[in-house]
């Protein structure tokens, strides 16, 4: 069977989520599988040559795509109102980061930990070329070496406040500090964000969740402490030191060994062949 896919991206809108989508699309294209991507909203965060904003299409262009384009569609995020029309004539695959999504196609996950109900697994892919140094060249000279805490912590306003206040006190104690540190509570999106920052050389402090261990390895992050400022001071100091950079290097090796483009493309191809043959 000759594979040809259409992706509809309605979720995965954060830059680190979109980065995974872009990397998977490039990996699939490089493996020889034609791909067209439609996205809800803008296209700024996605890197792919054949990507079109669904909102930019005319009514007739949308109808033509829904009724005639592609025999296999892959939904990333929530289903649009017209998704049922696609399902009348095409095989569908659905990937979600939500804890309990309403599946509108073959259920697939990016994390093994979330696939406990028999969902198929797609390996995420990460960009191994870009580093924080590459990004910093585009920043003003007075911003390139600034110390920075990048926070992706959704649970507990008090915890977020404690983390930011502890970081501020560290900067007060050491005005010459230039490190960047990322802290996350380890949700599915937070785990992808942690990998995104790791590939840019930023050490990660994370809640010790299965998703974080799965994506960075057991030695690829500094474990977040219980809710006390002394514990946070130690964790952030470690992340901002040479020890933190060593931990980050370990995480990058883990990502390269376990989440390469070729393996990600193969996981998608196998899944599409199953879905297209009706055996999934």
Query: What pLDDT sits at residue 265?
Result: 93
> Of 61, 95, 92, 63, which Cα lies nearest the Cα of 77?
95
Q: What is the pLDDT along the chain (280 residues), one digit of tens a residue?
A: 567 799 999 999 899 999 999 999 999 999 888 899 999 999 988 988 889 999 999 999 999 999 999 999 999 999 999 999 999 999 999 999 999 999 999 999 999 999 989 999 999 999 876 554 444 444 444 444 578 999 999 888 888 999 999 999 888 887 556 689 999 999 999 999 999 999 999 999 999 999 999 999 999 999 998 766 678 999 999 999 999 999 999 999 999 999 999 999 999 999 998 887 655 4
Query: What pLDDT sits at residue 275?
Result: 86
The answer to whether the beta carbons of residues 199 and 248 sit under 8 Å apart is: no
Please state the domain extents for the chain: 5-125+259-277, 132-258
> Of 276, 275, 25, 261, which Cα lies nearest the Cα of 123?
261
Query: What pLDDT sits at residue 135?
Result: 47
Query: What pLDDT sits at residue 184?
Result: 96
Query: What pLDDT sits at residue 51?
Result: 93
Query: How far is residue 207's CA from residue 88's CA, in Å, rounded to a whole number?
Result: 43
Residues 6+ apart with CB under 8 A from 117: 107
**The CATH number of domain 5-125+259-277 is 3.40.50.2000:** yes
> Of 111, 90, 88, which Cα lies nearest the Cα of 99?
111
Query: How far is residue 249's CA from residue 16's CA, in Å, rounded to a whole number?
Result: 19
């Amino acid at each position: 069977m000759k594979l040809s896919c259409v992706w509809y991206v309605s979720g995965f809108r954060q830059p680190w989520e979109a980065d995974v989508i872009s990397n998977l699309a490039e990996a699939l294209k490089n493996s020889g599988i034609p791909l067209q991507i439609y996205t809800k909203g803008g296209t700024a965060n996605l890197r792919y040559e054949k990507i079109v904003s669904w909102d930019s299409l005319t009514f007739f262009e949308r109808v033509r795509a829904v009724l005639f384009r592609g025999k296999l569609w892959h939904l990333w995020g929530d289903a649009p109102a017209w998704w049922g029309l696609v399902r009348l004539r095409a095989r569908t695959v659905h990937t979600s980061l939500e804890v309990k999504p309403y599946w509108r196609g073959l259920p697939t996950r990016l994390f093994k930990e979330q696939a406990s109900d028999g969902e198929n697994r797609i390996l995420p892919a990460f960009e191994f070329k870009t580093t924080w140094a590459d990004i910093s060249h585009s920043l003003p000279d007075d911003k390139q070496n600034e110390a920075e805490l990048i926070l992706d912590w959704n649970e507990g306003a008090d915890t977020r406040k404690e983390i930011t206040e502890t970081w501020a006190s560290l900067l007060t104690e050491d005005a010459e500090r230039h490190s960047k540190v990322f802290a996350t509570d380890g949700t599915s999106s937070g785990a992808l964000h942690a990998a995104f920052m790791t590939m840019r050389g930023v050490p990660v402090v994370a809640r010790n969740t299965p998703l974080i261990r799965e994506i960075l390895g057991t030695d690829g992050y500094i474990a977040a402490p219980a809710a006390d400022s002394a514990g946070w001071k130690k964790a952030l100091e470690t992340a901002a030191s040479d020890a933190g950079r060593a931990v980050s290097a370990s995480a990058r090796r883990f990502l390269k060994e376990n989440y390469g483009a070729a393996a990600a493309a193969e996981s998608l191809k196998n899944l599409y062949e199953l879905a297209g043959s009706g055996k999934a």
